[in-house]
Amino acid sequence: MAELFEIPDGTPLMGAVTFGLIDRGTNVIQVRPSTSCPLNCIFCSTDAGPYSQRRRAEYVVRLDHMMEWFRELVKVKGSGVEAHIDTVGDPFTYPQLVELVQEIKKLEEVRIVSMQTHGHLMNERILGELAEAGLSRINLSVDALDPWLAKRLAGTEGYDVERVVANARYALENTSVDVLLAPVWVHPLNDSELEGLIALAKDMDAGRRSPPLGIQKCEYHRFGRRTKEMRHVSWYTFYGKMRELEKKTGMKLVIRASDFGIRPARTVEAPFRVGERLMVRIVGPGWLNGESLATTRDLRWAVTVVGEELPAGEEVRVRLLRTKDSILVGRPS
């Protein structure tokens, strides 16, 4: 069982893929306040959930700490920002989710606050509170409407797709929160569900201020989960399938970033290159087994150290293996 680790004050909230903020050079800021998840999806690319085999720690970031860093980054971005709460688990596990949305939405630069979830922890009360706090949209992953298959994909007997859909309808009919259905296409397990999900998006009038549906390609990661029956789908096959379904159903399924108003924006970039060596200080356990969490000496960047579980306080020299999107991963060298 992974230990719950509160990110210590003073830890930089940029540089890690698992917590804090991610800036990929657009007007979207990804906000990751917690890493936990109540489900165990059999296709989970981040190996989340109670039965995770690889997680060493579940992170949580204090609200004040998060907002301190968010305010700085949003100033760089300027107006028209979308804050997208999209964790490596499920955002509904964050105990101060409503307050987080409220604080983000107060900032004049922020136009949209959106969230990515499988919706297992949604209920009418929290949807009402999130609407009042200023949540604009939920991207809701519903991967199958057949209750048995939905449980199987979610890896949890307790997952109730009918309740999730009922809550999504409640949000659309009774609150200002928009809902976009974002099923993951887990070929071939839910091939037969895609048309039903498209029909559901139409029926519930999803996507009032955004596309109603954005089918996601199931991505396989080295540390993610998969089963023997699952088959990898190339981008060529994926878009071919989307066009075929578009013709059949009349629903737009090939979606571009511009459909969400995403555009390039000023960015804060880590000044490092792959292969560069630097000294980092360990501040806590890594997210996965065999990893440690560190910061640069100037406390500007978080660094994931792979290959060793080192004690907090130790200084170590690492060689950077990844710097893309200012996500820093290094190995002791």
- For 312: left if phi > 0, alpha if psi spans -120 to 50, otherwise beta; the answer is beta
- The upper half-sphere exposure of residue 183, i.e. CA atoms within 13 Å in the direction of its Cβ, equals 29
Nearest residue (CB) to ligand SF4, 82 versus 90: 90
Q: Is 96 in the site for ligand SF4 (CB under 6 A)?
A: no
Q: Is 40 in the site for ligand SF4 (CB under 6 A)?
A: yes
Q: Is 89 in the site for ligand SF4 (CB under 6 A)?
A: yes
Instruction: Give the E-state strand segments of 16-96 in sequence order.
Output: 20-23, 28-32, 57-60, 81-85
Q: Is 58 in the site for ligand SF4 (CB under 6 A)?
A: no
Specify the DSSP element, H or E, that contains 173: helix 161-174
Q: In this structure, what are the phi and psi dihedrals at residue 42, rounded to the nearest 5 degrees?
A: -70, -15
Amino acid at 181: L
- The upper half-sphere exposure of residue 21, i.e. CA atoms within 13 Å in the direction of its Cβ, equals 31
Q: By the 8 A CB rule, do 289 and 304 touch?
A: no
- What's the min distance (Å) between Cβ of 248 and ligand SF4? 27
Query: Quick one: which of 23, 58, 82, 90 contacts ligand SF4 (CB under 6 A)?
Result: 90
Minimal CA–CA distance to 181: which of 200, 153, 155?
Answer: 200
Q: Is 37 in the site for ligand SF4 (CB under 6 A)?
A: yes
Please give the span between the terminal C-alpha atoms of the chain, in angstroms, as a whole number. Answer: 30
Nearest residue (CB) to ligand SF4, 39 versus 194: 39
Q: By the 8 A CB rule, do 91 and 85 touch?
A: yes
Q: Is 17 in the site for ligand SF4 (CB under 6 A)?
A: no
Q: Is 85 in the site for ligand SF4 (CB under 6 A)?
A: no
- Which residues, listed in sequence order, are joined to residue 291 by a DSSP beta bridge? 306
Judged by CB under 6 A, which stretch of 38-46, 174-182, 214-222, 226-234 contacts ligand SF4? 38-46
Tokens describing residue 313: 């306080």
Q: Is 44 in the site for ligand SF4 (CB under 6 A)?
A: yes
Q: Judged by CB under 6 A, how many residues of this single chain contact ligand SF4?
A: 11
- Which residues, listed in sequence order, are joined to residue 81 by a DSSP beta bridge? 110
Q: Is 286 in the site for ligand SF4 (CB under 6 A)?
A: no
Q: Is 150 in the site for ligand SF4 (CB under 6 A)?
A: no
Judged by CB under 6 A, which stretch of 40-48, 196-204, 234-242, 251-259 contacts ligand SF4? 40-48
Minimal CA–CA distance to 141: which of 37, 225, 226, 240?
Answer: 37
Q: Is 16 in the site for ligand SF4 (CB under 6 A)?
A: no
Judged by CB under 6 A, which stretch of 24-32, 34-42, 55-63, 210-218 contacts ligand SF4? 34-42
- What's the min distance (Å) between Cβ of 88 and ligand SF4? 6
Q: Is 118 in the site for ligand SF4 (CB under 6 A)?
A: yes
- Binding residues for ligand SF4, rule: CB under 6 A, are 37, 39-41, 44, 46, 48-49, 89-90, 118
